[in-house]
Chains A and B, each alone.
Chain A
């Protein structure tokens, strides 16, 4: 029974992960205004910069300003993304509060305000980026950070394999669940699933190599990314630049 519950949990978590990845590519799912045609490069660059500035800042006013800005963006997210972002950020906030409780009891109230707020802001910024930008777009934007093409290709392929091998594992778990009638050997079956996934991944990698050769692959993979500027990009840049200016002003 416990082993069956383990399989059920495996099925649910795999299904959840695949649904999330698939939902990112679905044109039918509406995204929030935050995702409106903003170039992924700007989103990645400014999110990274904001996280660094929040980490560096010792000024509570700046951290609270950044927090307000992020909460404003969160307010415009679709409800499902809003819940996910708030849940992750609040979870980290409370965990850090718990860890800092002894310091607060010793009279260090500054840390109790500062560190959990920074944690909340950092997790929120990362989640906003993840909710409003497709994984493929984030990976593609890395090209503009002068990341080597081969590294981008590896990340891209890894994403693809997570989906394909995830689907394969899910099907095998379904088959295992249907064929089990409460008997033992659950752990052995699970190691069988892992082994099959490993062998399948090797086979798929070989086939992909063959497919690339058939299409004239010359050993160099070229990824392309365009740096464009729209009105939405400009508004996003101005908003972020204001936050950054505040950081230096408050120093």
Chain B
């Protein structure tokens, strides 16, 4: 469904991605792992058509995603309704007067009638257990609530692919657990998940495949998630974990796997 071939990206003269290639199938759940600044967020922005690679090719559903193709309104609308993006900083993602309008923004932009928008918003509010928040101002809510609302506003367009940049950031353990289960459920229902994260404790529960980025902004490994987490030498090599993680992972991960 998503095909990237030899993608490179430069911020001025600074290289953010170097010859990255990957293929993500429909319904897959993939985590992008790597140390800070390795290019995960840049890759997610490319996948969402917010920036365009300096070189290489990106295909979504068999169609090339370029500046030219996204300049066509109809194509751009179709593309953005198929892929949803949860930003790392959700505060900037919430821009409407109240939660209802925030969730309704996407369906209204897609040209749905006000009656259908209302049905859709109520469905999402019930799905995300956001009853009572409809008329609250989004940016006055807590971090976990903001994240839920940002996710609800994306799900209102029923995207086939969900791209999430550090979704567990700033969440308390209970909210992180809820999000983890929610994402796993969405994936089981057929939504393709692509998430960048540092949270190695929960990544195994959400995704089955992991792509590890090196500090040289290249793909260092593409393995099943559990196998990746057990390969401590590899994680150490890309500077993602230290010796403290080794003891934790060796004791904890295999046991949880057996459970």
Contact = CB atoms under 8 A, between A and B. Distances in A.
Interface of A: 22, 25-27, 134, 136, 139-140, 156-157, 160, 163-164, 204, 207-208, 210-218, 222-224
Nearest to A134: B137
Contact of A214 (B84, B91, B136, B140): B84
Task: Identify the 7 closest CB pairs spanning chains A and B, nearest first.
Answer: A207-B92, A216-B109, A211-B93, A215-B106, A25-B140, A214-B85, A216-B80
A207 B92 CA distance: 6
Nearest to A135: B137
Contacts, number: 77
A22 B140 CA distance: 7
A21 B221 CA distance: 49
B97 A139 contact: yes
B192 interface: no
Interface residues of B, number: 35
A217 B77 CA distance: 8
Contact of B95 (A22, A139, A157): A157
Given A136-B137, A164-B139, A215 B157 contact: yes
Given A207-B87, A207-B89, A215-B80, A163 B73 contact: no
Contacts of A207: 87, 89, 92-93
Counting chain B CB atoms within 10 Å of each CB, which of A140, A164, A214, A222 scores highest? Answer: A214
28 contacts: A22-B140, A25-B137, A25-B140, A27-B136, A136-B98, A136-B137, A139-B97, A140-B97, A156-B96, A157-B95, A160-B95, A207-B87, A207-B92, A208-B92, A208-B95, A210-B87, A211-B92, A211-B95, A213-B76, A214-B83, A215-B80, A215-B84, A215-B154, A216-B81, A216-B106, A218-B77, A218-B109, A223-B101
Interface string B66-102: 0000000100110011011101010111011110010
Nearest to A207: B92
A206 to B, nearest CB: 9
A44 B85 CA distance: 38
Contacts of A139: 97
A136 B97 contact: yes
Given A140-B97, A156-B96, A212-B95, 14 more contacts: A163-B140, A164-B91, A204-B92, A207-B89, A207-B92, A208-B92, A208-B93, A210-B45, A211-B95, A214-B80, A215-B80, A217-B109, A218-B73, A224-B101
Contact of B50 (A157, A214, A216, A222): A214
Nearest to B108: A222
B111 to A, nearest CB: 9
A38 to B, nearest CB: 15
Given A136-B137, A207-B92, A211-B92, A223 B97 contact: yes
Q: Which of B73, B77, B80, B110 has the most CB of A within 10 A?
A: B80
A81 B85 CA distance: 42
